[in-house]
Structure 1
Amino acid sequence: MTPRTYPALSYELYPPRNAKAVGPLWATIRRLEATRPDFVSVTYGAAGSNREAAIDLLRRLLTETTLKPLAHLTSVGSSRAELVGIIERLLGGGVRGILALRGDAPDGVEPGSGDVEHADELVRLIRDVEAQRTAQLAAGRVSIGVAAYATRHPDSPSIERDIEVLLAKEAVGADFAITQVFFHASDYSKLVSRAERAGVTIPIIPGVMPMTSSRRLTKLGSLAGIDVDDAFRARLDDAASDEERRSIGVAATVELARAALDEGAPGVHLYTFNEHAAALAVLDALELERPPEAGLAASM
Structure 2
Amino acid sequence: MLRSKGIHPRISTCNSLIESIIKIQGCYAGYDMFREVFGLDGESGNDNGSRVKGVVPNVYTFSIIMVGFYRDGLVEDVEKVWSEMANMNYEPNAYCHSVLMEAYCDDGRIEDAMCVWEEMGFKGVKHDVVSYNTIIGGFCRIGEMGRAEEFFREMELSGGVDGTCVTFEHLINGYCKIGDVDSAILLYKDMCRKGFRPESSTIDAVIRGLCNKNSVSEALDFLRVAVKKHGIVPKGKSYEGLIKGLCLEGRMEEALKLQREMIGKGYEPNSEIYFAFIDGYTKKGNKELAKKLRKEMLETRTPQEES
TM range (shorter): under 0.3
Where relative contact order (Cα < 8 A, 6+ residues apart) is larger, the structure is 1
Normalised TM-score (structure 2): 0.27
Structure with a larger share of its residues in strand: 1
Which entry has the higher C-alpha Rg, 1 or 2? 2
Which structure has more helix as a fraction of its residues?
Answer: 2
- In the superposition, the TM-score normalised over structure 1's length comes to 0.28
